[in-house]
Every structure is written in C-alpha cells, then in structure tokens.
Amino acid sequence: MNAHLFGAISSPGVTNFGLRATAEAGREQFGQAAADFLQRDFYVDDGLKSFVTPESAINIIRNTKAMRAAANLRLHKIC
C-alpha cells in the first residue's frame, strides 16, 4: 500500500505506528530530541510541545521535518 485513507477507525493507530517507525529509523541520523518529539509529543498528526527558547524549537522542527521528509511524510500545522 502506498497511501492510507483517513477517516477510518484505524487512522489514529496507523498514524502513530508510522510516526514511531519514522522516529526509530531516523534517530541516529537526526538526533534523539527529534525522535523523542515524534514518539512522545504527537497526537495523530499534531505536534504538541513547549520550548524554553525559540532556537530550541526551531532546531527540533528542522530535524523533525528532515526526519519525516526522509520517510516521505510532510510536517505541517506549525504555530
């Protein structure tokens, strides 16, 4: 399968599995903090986390976007 249709009962579980697998695959290349962000601070496709400094937030977002891009997953809805 190349795509998963959202709206199915299994969608949140499929999304969580994909994020966790992406985090494990990219942990070494993109860093522990980005992998932890994907594994611990996402609910379905929303990343929820506070940072002490803007620089730390930007760093995590850059690494997470790169990690997800390597797995062909786009990161959006950044505030």
In order along its 79 residues, the chain shows pLDDT tens digits of 566 666 777 777 877 888 899 999 999 999 999 999 988 988 777 788 999 999 999 999 899 989 988 988 876 665 5
Q: pLDDT value at position 4?
A: 66
Helix (H, G, I), strand (E, B) or coil at 69: helix
Tokens of 78: 């950044």
- Please report which residue ranges of 6-79 form alpha helices under DSSP H: 11-30, 32-40, 54-70
- Nearest 5°: phi and psi at 23? -60, -45
Going from N- to C-terminal start, the domains of the chain cover 32-79
pLDDT for the residue 42:
80
pLDDT at 18: 84
Q: Which pLDDT belongs to residue 33?
A: 92
Give the pLDDT of residue 55. 95
